[in-house]
Amino acid sequence: MFRRVAVLGAGTWGTALAIQLAENDNEVTLWSKLPREIEALQKDRKNVPNLPDAVLQDSVILTTDLKEACEGKDLIVFAVASPYVRATAKEAKPFIPEGQIIVNVAKGIEESTTMTLTEVIKDVIPWVETAVLSGPSHAEEVGRDIPTAIVVGSKKHSTATMIQDTFMNEYFRIYTSPDVIGIELGGSLKNVIALAAGIVDGLGLGDNTKAALMTRGLTEISRLGVAMGGKLETFLGLSGMGDLIVTCTSTHSRNHNAGYLIGQGYTMQQAMDEVKQVVEGVYSAKSALQLAHKYDVAMPIVEQVNQVLFEGKTAMEALDDLFTRARAEEINWDDEV
């Protein structure tokens, strides 16, 4: 069964998802606020330079008209970068009917409110039904039909399965879950840890250091996620451990690449300018620390990342502080053996 789907955001992720949706014979409209993005796609059907090998099907409708994009759709996909979700929701609001299903695919936490992005959408457009799609999924590979598995989270099982059916094909496997908050936090917080992993690589340190950073980072994500109502198994799954692995280790990862530059001595702003894309972890780092304080959860890696990004601390000083903290237990001792 084909569906009418709007993808809001014609960056790398939005374009890659539009390709997958069109492969499944959906009627797809791809929207961008930026005329130059739509003009470039109209010219050669490619998202150059970020997706040079992925070709957008001729059937995909391209537009800068938000009303045209949103009206009469079975599903709307929010694929704009996290800092622009609220503004896009406000612009789209007049064209969104009661009960519209919106699936957010961006990863982040709103800095000013510490809301997750589905919460931001609901805050702006209360009458919609929201879901989240997340997992280890670089656009550069999804756009080329590299086998990928991710998870859709929704409070309604029927909504999750509808989104699953709309996106899933032989290259793009979709699982379902009711743990919306867990999926969103996993997808957002791993970006902060990926910055730290990039910093470790930029400093020229080894696999041992990076493995320790990733493992303890997953512990921090899980602690906060469970405190906020997420399920532990979510953080051991695709949107937790899976997304953390791919974002901390891949050359496609803008968060890892920005962290690498910081480890090499760049400032946060210089690193972001060099990457030339939105580095979601920079925007989520402050929010993650605010949530850690709110829920009284220890997140020393997140704390050190914030100090490097915003307080002028050097990467090596942050690493030293992490490794010279007081002794700790990995698992609590209940009884003396």
Give yes or no: 286 in active site: no
CB 277 within 8 A of CB 254: yes
**Residue reference for tokens 């606020």:** 33
Q: What are the tokens at 101?
A: 């299903």
Question: By C-alpha distance, which of 37, 29, 120, 19 is closest to 75?
Answer: 29
Rounded-to-integer distance, Cα 7 and Cα 17, Å: 8
Measured CA distances, 294 to 72, 224, 232, 287, 299 (Å): 41, 10, 19, 10, 12
Rounded-to-integer distance, Cα 2 and Cα 24, Å: 8
Which of 73, 107, 190, 231 is flagged as catalytic? 190
CB 201 within 8 A of CB 258: no
SS3 75: strand
Rounded-to-integer distance, Cα 329 and Cα 337, Å: 15
Strand-pairing partners, residue 152, are 133, 176
Residues recognised as catalytic: 190
